Amino acid sequence: MATVLIVGGSRGIGLGLVERYAADGWSVHTTTRSGESPGAAVETHRLDVREPDQIADLARSVPVCDVVIHVAGVYQGRSRAEMFAVNVTGAIAVCQALIDGGRVVGKLAILTSQMGARRGRTESLGDYGDSKAALNDEFRRRAPGWGERGVTAAVIHPGWVRTEMGGSSAPLSVEESVDGIVSVMAKLTAQDHGRFLTWDGRDHPW
């Protein structure tokens, strides 16, 4: 049975991915900040991505995974510092610790955002956009090393999705975004390593 880890499975897209992979028969591990299971019958680990000790515990306790998807992120109502701590430092630290701990044998994705695409611009993209742009930069910096460890990694824009973060006017349901992300992960090959992809499998400009 293949094993997947969804980092940030309490709600939104993360919970949708947990439910989908469980329904598809995968061995599913996820993380929540409380450590409580999000409901589905899955192994749940306690993790706030800003806590290095909890990241180290996760990298020790999670099994070797075929697929890891880092979903946890924050958008509105947070300081710029918190946004960078969660969306950049936390996301990269979790992925690096899992790779260093030999817990990823296959594919890894980090959910980023189209709002972090600079497209050559130098002005601020707002706190959230700047944090996702910084995540993309750090991903591109580390991707060669991750590839040398045998990991195929990409950043994925999940679409604009009806979650607490995306709001009720977003065009995509969680199920539509999850369907796309699961399909992108299934098709991901070594040629895709280091790419910025969309939930429906297109290349996104940096």
Ligand X SMILES: NC(=O)c1ccc[n+]([C@@H]2O[C@H](COP(=O)([O-])OP(=O)(O)OC[C@H]3O[C@@H](n4cnc5c(N)ncnc54)[C@H](OP(=O)(O)O)[C@@H]3O)[C@@H](O)[C@H]2O)c1
135 binds ligand X (CB under 6 A): no
86 binds ligand X (CB under 6 A): yes
Does residue 154 contact residue 109 with C-beta atoms inside 8 Å? yes
**Among residues 42, 59, 62, 72, the one that binds ligand X under rule CB under 6 A:** 72
Nearer to ligand X, 105 or 206 (CB): 206
**CA proximity to 158, closest of 176, 134, 139, 140:** 176
- Per-residue CA distances from 62 to 25, 44, 122, 133, 170 (Å): 18, 10, 39, 29, 34
Cα separation of 127 and 80, whole Å? 5
Nearer to ligand X, 3 or 9 (CB): 9
**Among residues 163, 181, 199, 204, the one that binds ligand X under rule CB under 6 A:** 163
Helices and strands in the chain: count of H runs, count of E runs: 6, 7
Q: Which amino acid is at 30?
A: T
Does residue 196 contact residue 157 with C-beta atoms inside 8 Å? yes
CB of 27 to ligand X, least distance (A): 20
Nearer to ligand X, 22 or 170 (CB): 170
**CA proximity to 114, closest of 164, 159, 162, 76:** 159
CB of 150 to ligand X, least distance (A): 25
**Among residues 170, 179, 194, 200, the one that binds ligand X under rule CB under 6 A:** 170
CB of 104 to ligand X, least distance (A): 18
49 binds ligand X (CB under 6 A): yes
**Among residues 146, 160, 196, 199, the one that binds ligand X under rule CB under 6 A:** 160
| Footprint on this chain of ligand X (rule: CB under 6 A) | 8, 10-14, 33, 47-50, 71-75, 86, 111, 113, 157-158, 160-161, 163-166, 170
